[in-house]
Amino acid sequence: MTISPFEERYKTEMNDVFEEQNKLRKWMDVEIALAKAHAELGTIPKDAVKKIEEGSNKVKVERVHEIEAEIHHDLMAMVKALTEQSGDAGKYIHIGSTSYDIEDTATALIFRDAINILEKRLGAFAELLKTLAKKHKKTVCMGRTHGQHAVPTTYGLKFAIYYQECLRNLERLNELKKRIYVGKMAGATGTMATFLGDGMKIQKMIMKELGIEPAKASNQVVQRDRHAEVLFVLALIAAMLEKIAKEVRNLQRTEILEISEPFGAKQVGSSTMPQKRNPHKSERVCSIARLVRANVQIALENISLEHERDLTNSANERVIFSGSFIGTDYMLKEMTKILSGLEFFEDNIDKNLELTNGLVMAERLMIYLVSKKNMGRQDAHEKVRQMAQEAFRTKMHLKDVVKKANLGLNEKELTEIFNPKTYIGEAEKIIEEATK
């Protein structure tokens, strides 16, 4: 029986990172690193490490769960299961450590694997955005502000903007590594008392073995500001994906229909309306983005644990860590499919450029009167505003209202002023610069 849709419906390669078996493996990897440190310092026999390593390959999740059902402690259940499989070396497992020495250090290893997957996915998505920006740098379309027609832009510029945001999110992912690839081996309150003066050495040796950094100071846990930062970056990625998905959804509206997410030959849009081509994939991205963002609030509340720690973070982290990573990975996969198969309806793009009978060229007209006809800027703005209002009321083309106003503009000038496809400024240069 599947409880969470992330187990099946929204499953990705990220699921393997957060599966119980992998978590167990990472816990045991930390235990092995602890045994190695003890062996190197001479506090346990060197051959014990090999026996513990071999034992770790025999531990089954099912056995750990059996023990946990009896003792009600998941980490100690792993320790007991590993002890069972390690022979006489079992007595050397977990010496000096507390549960979250193992769990938090293992979480850093899990996050490292998860971020590696996400980086590759996000990098590929960035390349797709870059390709679309270049491909559509000359695809002139209607720009919209406040849901209203503004002035022309290009689809290439839209994608270039997304591409630059994607690069910033890649930078953020890379930047947080130095703060999240961190573990601890400091005992119950962070004093390392159980290691009898060798705590600093042991912690450093373990983290070097695992390829992460030691926390310079901790209590019973690695401080949760680190984890909150990870979830915040995931939320930023989710917000970017939602922004793109919302643009697809809005531009796919029947009244606009400039673009559309791909629609399969046998795809069903509605159970009752056979004609429907709903942007349900983009809507799904927007839906999951809300979940990923909401998890940040929980992660922020986990920062203020009481004294040297309490357990209020534990239960929710079993949900928010995997949910945020899998959700973000799924959204990236979906948006990659959507944009790879995005349909463009050029006739509608052109139709929408002319939909307002030239009103969207009012800015260009104003600037032309200022720069070429020596009219003051404020006077030009007011003159064009009045003409635009008249054109709106009478449903005349603004060009015809301008002709009637006798502003000294000839037909050639008017034709150029009211050509939306030649009013994109330096959009192409911007795109070229942004996609170098």
Per-residue pLDDT of 417-426, as tens digits, reads 999 999 999 9
Return d(Cα 387, Cα 407) in angstroms, integer.
Answer: 11
- The yes-or-no verdict on residue 71 having pLDDT over 90 is yes
Does residue 342 share a domain with residue 227?
yes
Q: CA 248, CA 257: separation in Å to the nearest integer?
A: 10
Q: Does the structure show a pLDDT above 90 at 370?
A: yes
Q: Do 52 and 192 sit in the same domain of this protein?
A: yes
pLDDT of residue 1: 62
Query: Is 132 a domain residue?
Result: yes
Percent of the chain at pLDDT > 70 equals 100
pLDDT-based confidence at 220, cuts 50/70/90?
A: very high
235 and 368 housed in the same domain: no
Is residue 432 domain-resident? no
164 in a domain, yes or no? yes
Q: Are residues 331 and 312 in the same domain?
A: yes
270 is catalytic: yes
- Domain total in the chain: 2
Q: Greater confidence, 3 or 6?
A: 6
Q: Does residue 146 share a domain with residue 76?
A: yes
Q: In angstroms, rounded to a whole number, what is the distance separating the alpha carbons of residues 263 and 252?
A: 12
Residue in 270, 304, 340, 371 annotated catalytic:
270
Q: Write the pLDDT tens digit of every residue in 13-40.
A: 999 999 999 999 999 999 999 999 999 9
Q: Are residues 336 and 401 in the same domain?
A: no
Q: Is residue 423 part of a domain?
A: no
Mean pLDDT of the chain: 96
Q: Are residues 154 and 235 in the same domain?
A: yes
* pLDDT > 80? residue 2: no
Q: Does 435 reside within a domain?
A: no
Residue 401 has pLDDT above 90, yes or no: yes
pLDDT band at 162 (very low <50, low <70, confident <90, very high): very high
pLDDT of residue 75: 97
Identify whether residues 333 and 370 lie together within a single domain. no
What is this structure's pTM?
0.95
Q: Please pick, among 72, 146, 271, 307, the residue that the annotation labels catalytic.
A: 146
Instruction: Mark whether 196 and 289 lie in a shared domain.
Output: yes
**In the chain, % of residues over pLDDT 90:** 94
* Same domain for 368 and 298: no
Residue 282 annotated as catalytic: no
Residues 85-96 have a mean pLDDT of 97
CA proximity to 434, closest of 141, 133, 142: 133
DSSP output for 350-378: HHHHTTTTTGGGHHHHHHHHHHHS---HH
* Domain range enclosing 409: 359-417
Q: Which residues fall within 8 angstroms of residue 431, CB to CB, at 6 or more apart?
A: 133, 134, 137, 154, 156, 157, 160
Does one domain contain both 343 and 363? no
If pLDDT is split at 50, 70 and 90, which confidence band does 265 have? Answer: confident
